[in-house]
Copies of this chain bind each other. A is one copy, B any other.
Amino acid sequence: MSKKEEILNAAIILFAEQGFNNTSITEVAKATNASTANIFYHFKNKEELFLAALENVKDGIMTHFDEYLRGRYFENGLQMMEEIIAFYLYLAGAMQQWFLLLHSHYPYRLALVNDLCRNHLEQTYNSLVDIFERAVVIGKEDGSIADVDSRKTALVIFSMVEGVVRFKIYNLYDTGALFYELIKSCNKILKYKE
């Protein structure tokens, strides 16, 4: 791993755990045995380091999902949705820094004035909702899912899962005990037509 990658990985963890404004360049430097000047050699300024971290998180999530989905066979759309949710919750636990970074307020504030930041966030979320939507569309075709609005239903289920992820990474509720309830609720939303 190059020094640049090392700095980037340390930045992701520190920004995620302590926030952007509470993480100093000196801390990132100490964590990687680099000088502060070296960090500014690899990254123009602190904001650009954060954007690189956010992009890295985006790529990481996408790569993991692509790898998970590639070549995998699902019985039907409903089962696909269940497994996607399970994988999403697994990933949020295994790569907690990524989701802490995505759940922090800073990038959303930055996105209001920085196009690159807005693009990273949009791409991340749209790709994820797309995966959820794909499961709904497939399920509607094979009959395992009722005739619902694919996009909106995918969004509601995604927001439900994101709510649980937030409880998990913020230590609010024991989400392990909530998992089966989440899957059951998802099933009801998808199976029944109202």
- CB within 8 Å of B: which residues of A? 17-22, 100, 103-106, 108-109, 111-112, 121, 125, 149, 152-153, 155-164, 166-167, 170-173, 177-178, 181-182, 184-185, 187-189, 191-192, 194
Given A187-B194, A188-B188, A189-B188, residue A105 in contact with residue B19 (CB < 8 A)? yes
**Is the pair B166, A152 in contact by a Cβ cutoff of 8 Å?**
no
**B-side contacts of A187, CB under 8 Å:** 194
Count copies of this chain in the complex: 2
Q: Identify A152's interface contact among B18, B22, B162, B181, CB under 8 A.
A: B181
Q: For residue A125, which residues in chain B have a CB less than 8 angstroms away from its CB? A: 172-173
User: Does the CB pair A159–B156 fall under 8 Å?
Assistant: no
23 contacts between A and B (CB under 8 A): A19-B106, A21-B21, A100-B105, A103-B166, A104-B104, A104-B105, A108-B170, A108-B172, A112-B171, A121-B172, A153-B181, A153-B185, A155-B181, A156-B164, A156-B185, A159-B173, A162-B166, A163-B163, A163-B164, A184-B194, A185-B189, A188-B192, A191-B192
